[in-house]
Structure 1
Amino acid sequence: MVYFFIRFIAASDKLWFMLEMYSFVDYFTIPPSFVSIYLDRTWIGLRFLRALRLMTVPDILQYLNILKTSSSIRLAQLVSIFISVWLTAAGIIHLLENSGDPFEFANPQPLSYWTCVYFLIVTMSTVGYGDVYCNTILGRTFLVFFLLVGL
């Protein structure tokens, strides 16, 4: 939250700051943290959206003069986008599978976040061991669209 306010104060265009992607990540991840502290409960929520922050790593590495050539900068950007999309998609699958089908309030599958990351990597690499799979309709639908966009 402190980082959000520092970025807000440092922003030259406050409206643009309020509408950029990283601000939306903060909108969806900061308030639920305080609600969970207040209610003394935890839930899955949208914490997985914080993985989108990994897309700023190449900028930081470039600022620190670790990445100097344009090809290394581009490669770091590509890898960071790839990893952040994978981790975010795994979070969506984690949320959908642990919540169950919303139409029947049934069929939840208790999967850990890292099991969902494993499932997504195995599925995207077309190995598909079959040890983990989507049970819910929304999980399967999301996976189909993710695979179509990913291919």
Structure 2
Amino acid sequence: MTENAKLANLDLDLRQIMLAQERSMREMQELKEGLNKVLSSVITHADIPEWVDLKQACQLKRLNSFNTVKQHFWLKPGCGQKKFQRICDGRIVYNRDEVIIPWLSVTSENLLSYLENCGLDKSCLPEKLRKELEAAAKRLDSPVPMEV
């Protein structure tokens, strides 16, 4: 192989490396922008008032169905139990640390265990909902297959 051919190959390799680096830089910039977007939407402990009413709680959890939550006790913070509620200025409010923070992490998969933690039995739920929640909890407990 001649010197010119070797230089041409080196030049080609260098260009490929530069293109790969440029592509990686663009991807890193996109990741950084995505991360900044996520971080700007994260609610921190300090962002939540010490006492929160139901409407504020639904906004914190980004629920659009305030009326649905209001109608069904099992969807409310503390499962609607009076021991988790206080009255402030004529409104029912919930404590951030004792009630709201744990409630924010409740999903369909762990609603039954949250219900039990609040001191309620799952038999208080409508049968159809109870079966759906039990199926969701089983999906959470079952191992997730790993892709190879």
- Larger strand share, 1 or 2: 2
Larger radius of gyration: 2
Give your verdict on TM over 0.5: no
TM-score by length of 2: 0.24
TM-score by length of 1: 0.24
